[in-house]
A and B are shown apart, each in its own frame.
Chain A
Amino acid sequence: MPGDPHSGATPLLQTVGLTKRYGDFLANDSIDIEIWPNAIHALLGENGAGKSTLVKTIYGLIQPSGGEMRWQGRKIVLSRPSEARALGIGMVFQHFSLFDNLTVAENVALGLDGKEQLKEVSARLEQVSSNYGLPLDPGREVWQLSVGERQRIEIVRALMQNPQFLILDEPTAVLTPQEADQLFIVLDRLKAEGRAILYISHKLEEVKRLCDTATILRGGRKVATCNPKQETAASLARMMVGSDIKEVRPAAGRATTIPRLVVNDLSLEPDEPHGVRLQHISLELKGGEILGIAGVAGNGQDELFAALSGERLAHDPGTIVIEGLAAGHLSITQRRKLGAAFVPEERLGHGTAPRMKLSENALLTGHAASGMVRHGFIDGAATLLTVDRATEAFDVRKAKRDPEAASLSGGNLQKFIVGREILRNPGVLVVSQPTWGVDAGAAAVIRQALLDLAAAGAAVLVTSQDLDELAEITDRIAVMFHGRLSEPMATADASREKLGLLMGGSSLGPTDSGQKETADAAGA
């Protein structure tokens, strides 16, 4: 493949003083990085550290304001991604850009620069995918595929360009542990072929295991380049954050009380063409308890959230019981009045209106039960007070007192959203992906807040794909697969293997053998 003998002379790709400036803000501040063939290079950093800006610059999506890039020692200027691809740089994005209603082959063909016939693309796709142990059926439509399979499409699409240098942006964020293991085998193989890989991740253990070199960014600057295998997860985290992360401390001896959230045999048809059908979901959540729901994205978590919050109503009021009252037929506002609070996965556009101010976003969920509205008139001071209180209690960092939601970083906006709900002292909190795409510091604050809320007697339901997070804060864990929920087990008994198998669909519902074929169909 790459015929370069690279005896330590010139790196495959090198950036020298690469700088990207947005107005007064330095997203990348003179970054030097060297990418060598035959190696997996990790790019670590909190959200907003400049990782995305850096890789987008390398991929030609963003033009640098200063510094230069060298490819095999030669200076290059990339004004668009196709030029990067022509050199041999490939990229797999965190957010897939796939058309649900097109087939795998059609999606791949759309992303290729050449003018190949669909038939040739299909053939080449099958060859590449079987070559690397990434099985894909070119004729299947994307909506039928699991998230792991969708990612395979992106990887295969990148590999079909035969890149010498492949960039992967948080590839394991959406995979089961077993799927992630499979991905690592592929990456090792690519490395053995002499390619270079730049691997962006939050997961430090993973980086330690997989990567040969790690570059750590903080606040747009490079703070260190090191060998992650010689570091501890704690030392890597310290370099990322710049200080020690507060350890999350569960309150000792949390007493559980009465059931505050009960779901009785909830089944719900999807309201979207490619949605997931919820099937016979039951759970009971007591005050003082945190229940985790694990599972690969797209297995009904969104649908369950909509049903619990009241964004979709259940047919039978008794299927959802909040604080002892049948609530399946109640609107989200009425459920809030019962003392329930909700934090959805998507911060912008679901949890907040992006182009509205924080005070207005406080009103969005607070109008139901927080005295912000009197006789139909908004009490502007009360909405601002909520913003101030959330800012103080949760250390929300923002440029001015009341900015637009979209102008906050992911972590700060999430702290605001969680704060907004917790300040209402809910008896039941349903939260989806509480620390998704959030920096380590903010994640610790949010997890601590959830623990404190439970310690104060609330029932907390957390949906997450981050098993470490669930292990850290939950008392019990259940797994969602194909719209069904497994029996919850004590977190102490929930090994990664056990959870991983359940997430892949095996051994779900030991008494129900009728589910076997779906399990096999998705069999990781």
Chain B
Amino acid sequence: MRLVLEKRTERSNTIALVSPLIAIGLTIVTMSIMFVILGKNPILALGVYFIDPLTDAYSLQEIAVKATPLVMIAIGLSFCYLANVWNIGAEGQFLVGAVAGSWLAVKTQGTDAGYWVMPAMLLLGAAAGALYALIPALCRVRFGASEILTSLMLVYVADLFLDYLVRGPWRDPKGFNFPTTAEFDPVATVPILIEGGRLHMGFVIMLIVVAAASVLLGRTIKGFEIRVVGAAPRAARFGGFNAKQLVVLTFAASGALAGLAGIIEVAGPVGHLQPGISPGYGFTAIIVAFLGRLNPIGILVAGFFLALTFIGGEQAQIAMKIPLDVTKVFQGILLFYVLASDSMITYRFRLIVPPRKVSRGAA
């Protein structure tokens, strides 16, 4: 008796839909085991993680705030991954976008600059993110360098550059030596949607990005090009699509969205530039992209789910003294299971039971 993986004749759409749910289920089982090992009651811990944040208005808003950058970055990454281009450096593009937009905020600080500042900051952030993403893209196209490595390494360059700026030239003189810029002026801030709340304009921008991506991927020839280059490169070339051009384009688009998410985060919820503006949004967005089936609507849902784990993780730390790193473990396990379940879309398990193990042509 043995278990084999068999190729399906056609992709299973059912599995494509339920695969993320299977993955979430398996992750929760694994987490429960881990909680038991940590000496915590798994039912209680899971409740704090996944149920409690959904029960009060503040946490709900906070989930939407956290989902905003996750979804925005993941949409950009989905363009890359659909085209078989591996941008792992969204975190760096996020930070560079934040830095570039902040530059304008810092320069106009205390002047009578008008309402053009915030939109200009967003444009700068997006442009900087795109340019930063072009580095690995051009290295790949020109020299054949693996974009996985180059984009990842550039994350640390961006991280340290930001660190240098807020400790050096941009440090708030009245900031008690903390590594941070001064609080941005109101015209350099993304406006809040509901008075007294945390939800900001960036959330609306994110929803627009999701809608635009849906149209792009589903209805336009560009979207078709992205999908066909990833799915069947040789057929794509036969169709007249240029894969190299697409590497540049998808990197630029995902860099722009990550950069935009970065500057929105700084000019919105954070309000100033400082190290640690991202709890790893750029990396978590990779999980969001795959959990969401590289589909804009799926990514929207997945973004909220992973935002929930961030909030739940914080609450679990406070309420049950569960280390915050458990959130990262959770996210890692989730990605692992998502990718594993995805193989079920094109393959299926089959148990082979030989009828009877008798007389095998003995002489």
Binding site for B on A (CB under 8 A): 63, 71-72, 74-77, 79, 83, 87, 309-311, 331-333, 336, 342, 344, 346, 349-356, 360, 363-365, 367-368, 373, 376-378, 380, 403-404, 406-407
Contact = CB atoms under 8 A, between A and B. Distances in A.
Interface string B147-166: 00000000000000000000
A378 B224 contact: yes
A376 B221 contact: yes
25 contacts: A71-B361, A74-B359, A74-B361, A76-B360, A77-B355, A77-B356, A77-B357, A77-B360, A311-B238, A331-B240, A332-B237, A346-B234, A349-B235, A353-B231, A353-B232, A355-B11, A355-B232, A356-B227, A356-B228, A364-B238, A365-B239, A368-B240, A378-B221, A406-B9, A406-B10
A75 to B, nearest CB: 6
B144 to A, nearest CB: 14
Nearest to B227: A356
B354 interface: yes
A346 B235 CA distance: 10
Contacts of A87: 361
B177 interface: no
A63 B359 contact: no
B14 interface: no
A351 B354 contact: no
Contacts of B239: 332, 364-365, 367
A72 B360 CA distance: 12
Q: Which 8 A-B pairs have the closest CB atoms?
A: A333-B240, A353-B232, A364-B239, A353-B235, A332-B240, A407-B10, A373-B221, A71-B361
Interface string B332-356: 0000000000000010000010111
Contacts of B234: 346, 349-350
A336 B239 CA distance: 10
Nearest to A407: B10
A364 B361 CA distance: 53
A462 B9 CA distance: 31
A205 B361 CA distance: 37
A166 B356 CA distance: 26
Interface of B: 9-11, 219-222, 224, 227-228, 231-232, 234-240, 346, 352, 354-362
Contacts of B361: 71-72, 74, 76, 87
B219 A377 contact: yes
A354 B221 contact: no
A477 B248 CA distance: 44
A352 B235 CA distance: 6
B238 A77 contact: no
A71 B359 CA distance: 11
Which of B219, B234, B357 has the most chain A CB atoms inside 10 A of its CB?
Answer: B234
A83 B360 CA distance: 9
Contact of A63 (B11, B219, B354): B354
Given A79-B352, A363-B224, A407-B9, A354 B238 contact: no
Contacts of A404: 10-11
Contact of A378 (B219, B346, B356): B219
B221 to A, nearest CB: 5
A292 to B, nearest CB: 22
Contacts of A378: 219-221, 224
Contacts of B238: 309, 311, 332, 342, 344, 350-351, 364-365
B224 A63 contact: no
Given A75-B359, A355-B11, 19 more contacts: A74-B359, A77-B358, A331-B240, A332-B238, A332-B240, A336-B240, A353-B235, A355-B231, A356-B232, A363-B224, A364-B239, A365-B238, A365-B239, A367-B221, A376-B220, A378-B221, A404-B11, A407-B9, A407-B10
A349 B232 contact: yes
A354 B228 CA distance: 10
Contacts of A331: 240
B219 to A, nearest CB: 6
A354 B359 contact: no
Contact of A79 (B219, B237, B346, B354): B354
Contacts of A333: 240
Contacts of B11: 355, 404
Nearest to B350: A63
A374 to B, nearest CB: 10
A351 B240 CA distance: 12
Contacts of A79: 352, 354
B354 A77 contact: yes
A364 B233 CA distance: 12
Contacts of B346: 355
A365 B232 CA distance: 14
A310 B238 CA distance: 9
A333 B238 CA distance: 9
A110 B173 CA distance: 71
Nearest to B4: A63
A519 B225 CA distance: 44
Contacts of A63: 352, 354
A15 to B, nearest CB: 14
A236 to B, nearest CB: 30
Contacts of B221: 363, 367, 373, 376-378
A301 to B, nearest CB: 16
B245 to A, nearest CB: 11
B228 A403 contact: no
Given A71-B361, A76-B361, A79-B354, A311 B235 contact: no
A377 B362 CA distance: 67
A342 B239 CA distance: 10
Nearest to B1: A79
B231 A356 contact: yes
Contacts of B227: 356
A364 B359 contact: no
A311 B220 contact: no
A355 to B, nearest CB: 6
A346 B362 CA distance: 44
Contacts of B228: 353, 356, 360, 364
Nearest to A65: B355
Contacts of A365: 238-240
